[in-house]
Amino acid sequence: MKSLEGMSILITGGGSGIGLGTAQYCVNRGAKVTICGRRADKIEAAAASLGSQCRGVAADITVACDRENLLAVALEHGGQLDALVNNAGNMYRGAITELDEQELQDVFHTNVIAAMMLTGLCTPHLAERGGAVVFVGSIHTRRAFPGASPYAATKAAVQGLTRVLAAELGQQKIRVNCLLPGAVFTEINQRAGLMDDETALQRLQGMSDLHALGRIGTTEEIAEAMAYLMCAEWVTGAMIDIDGGLGLGITADPAITNRKEQ
Ligand SMILES: NC(=O)c1ccc[n+]([C@@H]2O[C@H](COP(=O)([O-])OP(=O)(O)OC[C@H]3O[C@@H](n4cnc5c(N)ncnc54)[C@H](OP(=O)(O)O)[C@@H]3O)[C@@H](O)[C@H]2O)c1
């Protein structure tokens, strides 16, 4: 098992939520981390909060020259590239009868296409280090939430390409894995304009009973699994559910779950 100490890690979408939590976790364990996001103020503040081991880059991963600049900064900051975490992602929901084609293309662009292009760009550098790629999938491919087909389709794509890239890049000693987080309170729904912070938190906490472990997760708990996938040297092509048991399909009805009342 590798150590995070001394690793150079590039995390897309590291200005908030799971990306920021992962950056913090890796910096605390001695890694040099480069994070990016489109909002310059947000990414600069996030990087500053993590200190000199973290570098923030204002970059939109759907733009080719931004991806090139991002990689150049990560190589300059970390001296090499040991891991790429394809974490940046957006939510788009809607009934299948009402989808907007441009919005659908945009969400696929960020969640799937840009991550693939960035992975290709990083591959020669990761090959020099026997490095790792971690894609971020979602519980949305384990449980079907009506109205979330655009988002779920992007995450299913990410899971599919994880397996192909694991097979394709294994000869170069690059490991490619996918993490499937469950419900974690972040900015994703609020950024999509779907709800405010308070409603988002209430909605997620309202799902507590659907988890085998009775609660939603934290960004640190997701980061622990990200770190495992960056460091585990004989794991590739894996999908790891980190969801407190949300994906098991438990219903909230005590008559069905046979749970004792608290
Ligand atoms: N939270 C959950 O419950 C949950 C569950 C399963 C999976 N996930 C996945 O976890 C990942 C992280 O999401 P999160 O929940 O932590 O939400 P978040 O707090 O909204 O973080 C996503 C980040 O991605 C950045 N981003 C979006 N589009 C980008 C682009 N084109 N270029 C560069 N950066 C971009 C955003 O910053 P800017 O807007 O400044 O660009 C934002 O900081 C996503 O892939 C999401 O699908 C989340």
Domain that holds residue 251: 8-257
Question: What residues have CB less than 8 Å from 52, skipping those under 6 apart?
Answer: none
Is residue 181 within 6 Å of ligand 1 at its C-beta?
yes
Torsion (CA) 71, 72, 77, 78 in degrees, nearest 10: 60
Q: In ligand 1, which atom is closest to the CA atom of 18?
A: 16
Question: Which two structure tokens, joined as six digits, stand for 94?
Answer: 């809607």
pLDDT for 255 equals: 64
pLDDT for 251 equals: 85
State in Å: Cα 17 to ligand 1 middle: 7
Residues 168 and 151: their CA atoms lie apart, in Å, by 26
Residue nearest to atom 2 of ligand 1 (CA): 184
Ligand 1 pocket: which of 11, 12, 16 to mutate (most atoms within 8 A of CB): 16
Number of structural domains (the chain) is 1
Task: Work out the average pLDDT over 2-19.
Answer: 98
Element (H, E) at 244: none
pLDDT for 261 equals: 56
Residue nearest to atom 25 of ligand 1 (CA): 13
Q: In ligand 1, which atom is closest to the CA atom of 137?
A: 7
Is residue 159 within 6 Å of ligand 1 at its C-beta?
no
Question: Which two structure tokens, joined as six digits, stand for 26?
Answer: 């890796």
State in Å: Cα 10 to ligand 1 middle: 14
Torsion (CA) 169, 175, 179, 185 in degrees, nearest 10: -110
* Strand order across the beta sheet in which 175-181 lies: 54-58, 32-37, 8-12, 83-86, 132-136, 175-181, 239-242
Is residue 215 within 6 Å of ligand 1 at its C-beta?
no
| Residue 97 belongs to some domain of the structure | yes
State in Å: Cα 89 to ligand 1 middle: 4
Task: Work out the average pLDDT over 40-67.
Answer: 98
Is residue 183 within 6 Å of ligand 1 at its C-beta?
yes
| Residue 217 belongs to some domain of the structure | yes
Residue nearest to atom 34 of ligand 1 (CA): 37
Is residue 177 within 6 Å of ligand 1 at its C-beta?
no
Residues 161 and 168: their CA atoms lie apart, in Å, by 10
Condensed to tens digits (0 to 9), the pLDDT of residues 207-262 reads 999 999 999 999 999 999 999 999 999 999 999 999 999 999 998 776 666 666 55
Condensed to tens digits (0 to 9), the pLDDT of residues 115-156 reads 999 999 999 999 999 999 999 999 999 999 999 999 999 999
Residues 259 and 245: their CA atoms lie apart, in Å, by 15
Condensed to tens digits (0 to 9), the pLDDT of residues 164-216 reads 999 999 999 999 999 999 999 999 989 999 999 999 999 999 999 999 999 99
pLDDT for 124 equals: 98
Question: What distance, in Å, lies between the first and last C-alpha atoms of the chain?
Answer: 41
Q: How confident is the model at residue 22 (pLDDT cuts 50, 70, 90)?
A: very high
Question: Which two structure tokens, joined as six digits, stand for 113?
Answer: 């296409």
User: CATH number for the domain including 142?
Assistant: 3.40.50.720
| Residue 262 belongs to some domain of the structure | no
| Residue 23 belongs to some domain of the structure | yes
Residues 246 and 261: their CA atoms lie apart, in Å, by 19
| Residue 104 belongs to some domain of the structure | yes
Active site amino acids: 151
Q: How many CA atoms lie within 13 A of 235 on its CB side?
A: 19
| Residue 40 belongs to some domain of the structure | yes
Condensed to tens digits (0 to 9), the pLDDT of residues 92-117 reads 999 999 999 999 999 999 999 999 99
